[in-house]
Chain A
């Protein structure tokens, strides 16, 4: 199947007081129609900037470069501002981490939902309203018609995130980027919202890029996983490959740091691997994980480590993969 989204060689630089930070360094990914790709990694690894770069919503001071950035056979980098606006919210949409700040406090949720719909689809106010009610009901909001007049501050966090999901789906997009959609919610609500996302995805043949630092979330909804570290994807594969046969010492470390036997259960945050993430203002020449890696070789620090293919779907950016005799990482 041809890919819905193809990203190759994505770089994001961001200007900070301390210098130019290379937050995303040569990232490749692709998403097929209807699949869920989960990007997982510690906070600060560049997940949000990756999502925002795809949307063309980088904050001031940040710059995007990519050798390939195609969505539905269009080059996102070459589109005019207006053409990009026509795609955003209609074919390509986004759900943000904190629904409390992502909804406009001054407008009712009905006004915000119908505003998106009428922007792209036109039509009457009544049609937009019907669509809003239908979607609110679909995301599990009761008394949807009455809720349209309510304002964000009158809703709980879970309800607000459901409204955000409804808003992202108003125009039936092909791909939704969800940046930690459950991080701001209570644990019990998190599971409900995830189940909702998964159900909606099946129903609407939606592709999702789910950004998270929560392995439980990954296990619950993802088809494929990309593990991100210091601005790079260090390992990618199907959920089975990543959970059953992790190859990069960083991925292995993530699982080892979870309480034994509970990996993949919902609500598990990434554990802490000893050591510090290197500064991305002048990133290391070789593997960025070398300083924290129990299996480090001299070669690791010398030059950029290539991505080694383990199966048609599984790849890891680690020299140990190419030298299998050394065996598994000491974490396990």
Chain B
């Protein structure tokens, strides 16, 4: 187990290092930073000054190491647009996105896991076809359309839910549903196919041969063996959902990371873009690591290796 954990953490660190190099490379490819920082009106001497000041005249490896050592302590520089440290901006916005992501993940799982289980009981049966129809609908309907329908119905006509802002937990209900709608089909598919395999397995036949009741067979013996792939997919899907939240945050005016990223890209605000890319990548890598560790806790074959 200890070896497994160390190995997973090592892999995660390597991935992060690669991401940082890529991110730094993209920054370099995006043009001369000194020029973009100086704005159009600045003199050539001022641009030179900036270049020296920020170490942009140094060899690339040195620049990278400096940049990395600052990034490691969360120093990405000031936002060109807001004039405040990029990491502060990010720290303000991150909780909103995380809450949205967790709410969306939770709703998606609550919905998809039971549906996947009942779909697998009789593949090709009515419930199974109903479940695949729902999944297909979920994938075919654009998220923004669902958002607008919900806003019109629950926000405007019925007036049950606020349509914008982050003032209460009610603000997260519609965006959470929209995000879940986007993420659920992947969970439904993995649970359904995993359960079909598990229900056809010898160990489920054994459980039935010893008279265990159907709920025990289904939820204890079969579903347990679907958790490992489900956790792995959930980690990846959570990352996708964070990405997918850009549209949803914009529609519901949730001031989260997605919204910030959209602003920063539109304004060539490199420090903020950098901070977002690296932080989101780090979250992604951490999620994968968490999934691996969780799977080790779930599956004795991983844990006891």
Chain A contacts to B: CB under 8 angstroms? 55, 57, 85-90, 93-94, 96, 98, 101-108, 115-116, 119-120, 151, 153-154, 164, 167-168, 170
Residues on B with beta carbons closer than 8 Å to the beta carbon of A151: 300-301, 304
Name B199's closest neighbour in chain A (CB-CB).
Answer: A60
Q: Which residue of B lies closest to A167 (CB)?
A: B210
Query: With contacts A96-B206, A101-B202, A119-B216 known, is A106 near B211, CB below 8 A?
Result: no
What is the CA–CA distance of A104 and B301 in the complex, to the nearest angstrom?
A: 11
Chain B residues 279 to 305 lying within 8 A of chain A, measured CB to CB, are 298-301, 304
Query: Is the beta-carbon distance between B206 and A104 smaller than 8 angstroms?
Result: yes
Q: Contacts A57-B208, A151-B304: A104 and B213 contacting too (C-beta < 8 A)?
A: no
- Smallest distance from the beta carbon of B218 to chain A beta carbons, Å? 13
Complex contact B203–A88 (CB within 8 A): no
Docked Cα-Cα span, A135 to B98, in Å, equals 51
In the bound complex, residues from chain A placing their C-beta under 8 Å from that of B221 are 104, 107
- Are B202 and A102 interface neighbours, CB within 8 A? yes
Q: Chain A nearest CB: distance from B103 CB in Å?
A: 29
Contact of A87 among B208, B211, B213, B298 (CB under 8 A): B211
A38 CB → nearest B CB, Å: 20
Does chain A have a CB within 8 A of B205?
A: yes
Q: How many residues of B contact A (CB 8 A)?
A: 22
Of A86, A89, A105, the residue contacting B300 (CB under 8 A) is: A105
6 more CB-based (< 8 A) A-B contacts, given A104-B203, A105-B299, A170-B210? A86-B211, A96-B205, A104-B221, A107-B224, A115-B212, A153-B304
Q: Within the assembled complex, what's the spacing in Å between the Cα atoms of A85 and B304?
A: 34
Q: How far is the CB of B212 from chain A (nearest CB, A)?
A: 6
Indicate if the CB atoms of B209 and A119 lie closer than 8 Å: no
Residues of chain B within 8 A of A164, CB atoms compared: 206
Question: Do A85 and B213 form a contact, CB below 8 Å, given A105-B300, A106-B298?
Answer: yes
Specify which of B209, B300, B304 is in contact with A57 (CB 8 Å cutoff): B209
A115 to B220, CA, bound (A): 11
A85 and B225 alpha carbons, distance in the complex (Å): 23
**A-chain residues with CB within 8 Å of residue B300 when the two chains form the complex:** 105-106, 108, 151, 153
In the assembled complex, B201 has its CB within 8 A of some CB on chain A? yes
Q: List CB contacts (< 8 Å) of B201-257 with chain A.
A: 201-203, 205-213, 216, 220-221, 224-225
B211 touches A120 (CB 8 A): yes
CB pair A101–B301 under 8 Å, yes or no, is no
Please state if B201 and A106 are interface contacts (CB–CB under 8 Å).
no
Choose from B210, B224, B301 the contact partner of A93 (Cβ within 8 Å).
B210
Do residues A88 and B206 form an inter-chain contact, with CB atoms below 8 A?
Answer: no
Whether A153 pairs with B210 at a CB distance below 8 angstroms is no
Q: Is B304 touching A89 in the complex (CB atoms < 8 A)?
A: no
Contacts of B216 in A (CB 8 A): 115, 119
CB contacts (< 8 Å) of B225 on chain A: these are: 104-106
Whether A105 pairs with B301 at a CB distance below 8 angstroms is: yes
Residues of A with C-beta under 8 A to B210: 88-89, 93, 116, 119, 167-168, 170
Smallest beta-carbon distance A100→chain B, Å: 9
Distance, CA A55 to CA B213, complexed state (A): 15
- CB proximity of A48 to chain B, nearest CB, Å: 11
Which residues of the partner chain B approach A90 to less than 8 Å between Cβ atoms? 211
8 pairs across A/B with beta carbons < 8 Å?
A: A88-B210, A89-B212, A101-B202, A102-B205, A103-B206, A106-B298, A120-B211, A167-B206
A116 to B298, CA, bound (A): 22
A86–B298 Cα distance when bound, in Å, is: 30
Residues of chain B within 8 A (CB-CB) of A167 are 206, 210
Q: Which residues of B contact A119 (CB under 8 A)?
A: 210-213, 216
Task: Pick from A93, A98, A104 the residue with the most CB of B within 10 Å.
Answer: A104
Q: Is the CB of B304 within 8 A of A154?
A: yes
Shortest B227–chain A CB gap in Å is 8
Cα(A87)–Cα(B208), bound, Å: 11
Most chain A Cβ neighbours within 10 Å, of B202, B209, B213? B209
Instruction: Give the complex CA separation of A102 and B209 in angstroms.
Output: 10
| Distance of A55 from chain B, by nearest CB (Å) | 6
In the assembled complex, the Cα of A205 lies from the Cα of B210 at a distance in Å of 20
Q: Which B residue's beta carbon lies closest to that of A120?
A: B211
Q: Please give, as numbers and ranges, the residues of chain B lying within 8 Å of A108 by CB-CB distance.
A: 300
A96 CB, min distance to chain B CBs, angstroms: 6
> How many whole Å from B298's CB to the nearest CB in chain A?
7
CB-defined contacts of B301 to chain A, threshold 8 Å:
105, 151, 153
Taking the nearest CB of chain A, how far is it from the CB of B142, in angstroms? 38
| Bound Cα distance from A88 to B211, whole angstroms | 5
CB distance from B87 to the nearest CB of A (A): 42
Q: How far is the CA of A90 from the CA of B224 in the complex (A)?
A: 25
What residue in chain B is nearest A154 (Cβ atoms)? B304
Q: Inside 8 A of B304's CB, which chain A residues have their CB? A: 151, 153-154
